[in-house]
Structure 1
Amino acid sequence: MEDLSQYPLELPESDKPMVRFQNVTKRYGALTVLDDLNLDIAEGEMVSIIGPSGSGKTTVLRMLMLERIQGGVIYVDGKPLTHMQQRGRLVQASEKYLRQAREPVGMCFQHFNLFPHMTALQNCMEGPVQVLGMSKKNARERSEELLELVGLIDKKDQHPSRLSGGQQQRVAIARALAMRPKVLLLDEVTSALDPEVIGEVTEVIKGLVSAHNLTIMMVTHQMGFAREISDRVCFFFGGKIEEQGAPADLFDNPQRERTQQFLSAVKSAD
């Protein structure tokens, strides 16, 4: 069993990123998918994660929302997410603790995952009412504000089947934001979209960052999207961060051979 005494019970204000992965390891059986990952995401930062299939990039998001880890600690807003305090030390988090600790984190999936029998407005209202215990009146007001923000207030009474892919993705983003997350995770949110509607989703995400001071972690295969929208890009390879930096630096002047090979292969595929 891992010695957790090296990890603080909470991060001090002087050293408190919005998200911290500290020595995080994730395994599936004998396969190590994330290997001793250390990564800080500042409040309000937009970080894109790129890399070949199997490099561990989507697993980074899943550790925050869906799965447990086998080593290290993840902190969100200074508090441990994967562990909880017990008698002055950190122990593996209970399911109840995990549900509460994950409340500041929202996630948008590649294939939207909207409820097909609900309208756009009802999709956005469901979480605040059922999970946060918000009144339907307040949930409706919040949801309408967010649908306005993503440019879809005129579609609020439409079911997902009546919306385009880009519109469905914008509803999914509004639904995630209705839970008032501090951290928004975007998993390949443009990969199922036609190229002409990627721009509209890009503009929506840019607007959300400035309007809500959101911290965003995004996994994407689309390098142009990552370049345009990110403050920082992390290239993953073999469960580790091979290289990271500002988009212009990483895309135009990659320092590591594996990064160069990956970007060259992506450019050739385009």
Structure 2
Amino acid sequence: MNDFSDFATQTEGVDKPMVRFRHVSKRYGALTVLDDLNLDIAEGEKVSIIGPSGSGKTTVLRTLMTLETINSGVIYVDGKPLTHMAKGGKLIGADERYLCKMRTNIGMCFQHFNLFPHMTALQNCMEGPVHALRVPKAEARDRAEELLALVGMIEKKDQHPSRLSGGQQQRVAIARALAMRPKVMLFDEVTSALDPEVIGEVTNVIRKLVSEFKLTIIMVTHQMGFARDISDRVCFFFGGKIEEQGPPAQLFGNPQRERTQKFLSAVKDAD
């Protein structure tokens, strides 16, 4: 096992970002999907990740949700190690109890919704707070109804997912993630499984979240216009690394790297 002792004090005494990747690598056999990644995301920052298929974009989110284990490096959330825990002045691999506690800081919306099919929209939003956070049912219900109203789904609160459109299911999924009161929200291609006419429903909800909550948001998207409008920073990934990053106006308007230029040109031509 790698010695992570040098990471234990790296963030002490400095301004701690909400999310920090320090020399993070992820491999599947001989394939490296994240290659010594270093990335800091500030509290309240909205970051979009773009890039070609296989560049490591979704793996960034999956490692943050601890759905994938990393091979080296450390990920921090709110100044605390996520993938590892301190013991005897060193960092060792986190156990499941520690991971469960840290996961409560992070909410994720997937492209295929992942709602519980046997539960109503309201029950889907109550389940996590009641069973994972031990929130009283009455309080969880009030919070769920408040969030369903926020995403425009309060009138559908008693409907099961099978009775909802794709855009409606995705809005419920966003409310469900917010019900856990996360510090960081992750969006993985949340509009890719939707029909074109309902994509606006979901993007408008995310815009509303940006304006009303000081959430740290990391979003993988293939919608360049949306990334431009909503982000503080855009990161272009290639080969498991950040090839180029910057404010949307700079990255989209005047990309410096040839790979970025070719990717954006190809995306523009495809549109």
Q: Same fold (TM over 0.5)?
A: yes
Q: Which residue of 1 aligns with 2:24?
A: 24
Instruction: Name the TM-score, length of structure 1 as normaliser.
Output: 0.96
1:217 maps onto 2:231 in alignment: no
Match of 1:267 in 2: 268
Coordinate RMSD, CA, aligned: 1.3
Aligned residue in 2 for 1:233: 234
Q: CA deviation at 1:192?
A: 1.3
Instruction: Please say if residues 9 and 90 of structure 1, whose CA atoms lie closer than 8 Å, have aligned partners that are also in contact.
Output: no
Distance in 1 of aligned mates of 2:207 and 2:74: 30
Indicate if the aligned counterparts of 1:9 and 1:80 stay in contact, CA closer than 8 A: no
The secondary structure found in structure 1 opposite 2:173 is: helix
- 1:93-104 counterparts in 2 under 5 A? 93-104=94-105
What SS is found at the alignment partner of 1:15? coil
Matched-pair identity in %: 78
Q: Would you say 1:47 and 2:47 are equivalent positions?
A: yes
CA drift at 1:199: 2.1
Distance 1:141 1:247 in 2: 37
Q: Aligned ranges for residues 81-120 of structure 1 at < 5 Å?
A: 81-120=82-121
Distance 1:227 1:160 in 2: 31
1:251 deviates by 1.0
> What SS is found at the alignment partner of 2:17?
coil
Give the 5 Å matches for 1:1-270: 1-9=1-9, 11-12=11-12, 14-65=14-65, 66-270=67-271
SS in 1 for 2:122: helix
Unaligned runs of 5+ in 2: none
Separation in structure 2 between the aligned mates of residue 9 and residue 62 of structure 1, nearest angstrom: 25
Is residue 5–residue 89 contact of structure 2 (8 Å, CA) maintained in 1? no
Could you list the structure 1 runs, at least 4 aligned residues long, displaced by more than 6 angstroms after superposition: none
Structure 2 letter corresponding to 1:239: G
Give the distance between the partners of 2:187 and 2:264, measured in 1 at CA: 21
Q: Judge conservation of contact 2:44–2:217 (CA < 8 Å) in 1.
A: yes
- 3-state SS of paired residue (1:35): strand
Q: What is the one-letter code of the residue matched to 1:180?
A: R
Matched residue pairs, number?
270
